[in-house]
Structure formats: C-alpha cells, structure tokens
Structure 1
Amino acid sequence: MPYVLALALTLLVEVPVYTVALTRAGGVRPSRAAGAAVLVNLATHPLLWWALRPYAAGPAAAYWTAFGLGEAAVCLAEGALLAPLTGLSARTAPPWAASATANAASVLAGLLLGR
C-alpha cells in the first residue's frame, strides 16, 4: 500500500474513534478531539512507516516483531501527546484507552484491506 493511502486509511479510521472516545470518556469537545487525533497521527505515522521499511523485505518474523513493537510505541506516544492537546491528564485512562483503541482499529482495517 502506498504511503499516502496508508495515511489516509489511518486518518479515516482513527479520527472518528478518537473523537468519540475522547468526547464520551474525557469530555473533550469533538472539534478538539478530532484535531488532536489528526496531529498525533501526523506525528507518529510517518515515523513508524519509515522505521518499518528496512524490515519489509526481510524475514516475516523480523517484520512482525518490529511492527508489534512499533505499534506499541505509537500507542504510548499518541497517548502521551493526546493529554496536553486535549487538556486531559496523562494520569487518567482516556488518552491511553483512546490511543490503544484507535490504533487497534486502524491495524485491523489495514490488515483486512491488505488481503
């Protein structure tokens, strides 16, 4: 999948998930939640994409290991970035739960569309 398509798919899936999760669980205004979702994805998506490139042509086990570790790092980074962008405390569950849920949804969408 070309990078632009992967980014578009990620935003298409993750922005609504973040918006609903942060609005309902965190009381964040929908526009602020959506804006934060776009910003955290623009910060992390290119980094993960380019970090995985060296593993794409190698053994599958190396790629999937890097992919899993990279997605875990993205969840942590996005959760940490969401807190100040939304006004939520990093000591509460909403930024972390929203990040894990949004990233799981986009990974699932990517796997389903990649087949």
Structure 2
Amino acid sequence: MPYPLAFALTLLVELPLYTVALTALGRVPARLALAAGTAANCATHPLLWWFLNRFAAAAPAAYWTAFALAEAVVCLVEAVLVRALVGPTRLAPVPALTTALTANAASVLAGLLLTAR
C-alpha cells in the first residue's frame, strides 16, 4: 500500500475513535480531541512507516517482530502526546493509553484487511 493511502486510512480509522474516546473519557472538546489525534498521528506515522520499510525485505519473523515492537512504541508515544495536548488534568494515563491502543489496533486491522490477498 502506498504511503499516502496508508496515512489516509490511518486517519480515517483513528480520528473518529480518538475524538469519541477523548470526548467521553477525558471531557475533552471534540475539536481539541480531533486536533490531538491528528497531531499524534502526524508525529508517529511517518516515523513508523520509515522504520518498517527498513524491514520490508527481512525474513517474516524479523518484520513482524519489528512491527509489533514499533506499534507498541507508537501507542505509548501517541498516549503521551495526546495527554500532553489535551491537558493531563483532563485525561489520566490509563485512558490515554487505552485510547491509543484501541485506535492503533483498529487501523492496523483495517490495513491488514485491505491488503490481505
């Protein structure tokens, strides 16, 4: 999948999830939730893509190990960024991490389903 399509798919899947979750869990205004989710994805997605491309020709075990570790780091970074952007008093660490995990799992699943042969 080309990068622009992958990034668009990520935003299409993750931004509604971030917006709904942050609005409900953190009492964050929808505009701020949307902006925080967008900023977090803009910060992490290009780096994730670059990193995983370094493993594109690797053995499947190496690629999937790198994939799992990279996604875990992305979830942690996005949780920290989103929490910082919406204000730590509005969003506790566990809901921030749960939201990032859910959003990223959904976009990974969407990507896998679209690229399954």
C-alpha distance in structure 2 between counterparts of 1:14 and 1:54, whole Å = 24
The secondary structure found in structure 1 opposite 2:58 is coil
C-alpha distance in structure 2 between counterparts of 1:87 and 1:24, whole Å = 15
- Shift in Å at residue 94 of structure 1? 2.0
The TM-score normalised by the length of structure 2 is 0.94
C-alpha distance in structure 1 between counterparts of 2:54 and 2:36, whole Å = 29
Structure with the largest fraction of helix:
1
Identity %: 57
| Structure 2 equivalent of residue 103 of structure 1 | 104
Query: Unpaired segments of 5 or more residues in structure 1?
Result: none
The secondary structure found in structure 1 opposite 2:33 is helix
| Structure 2 equivalent of residue 7 of structure 1 | 7
| Structure 2 equivalent of residue 32 of structure 1 | 32
Query: Unpaired segments of 5 or more residues in structure 2?
Result: none
- Shift in Å at residue 91 of structure 1? 4.5
Q: Is the 8 A contact 2:79 2:93 kept in 1?
A: no
Equivalent runs, 1:9-24 vs 2, <5 Å: 9-24=9-24
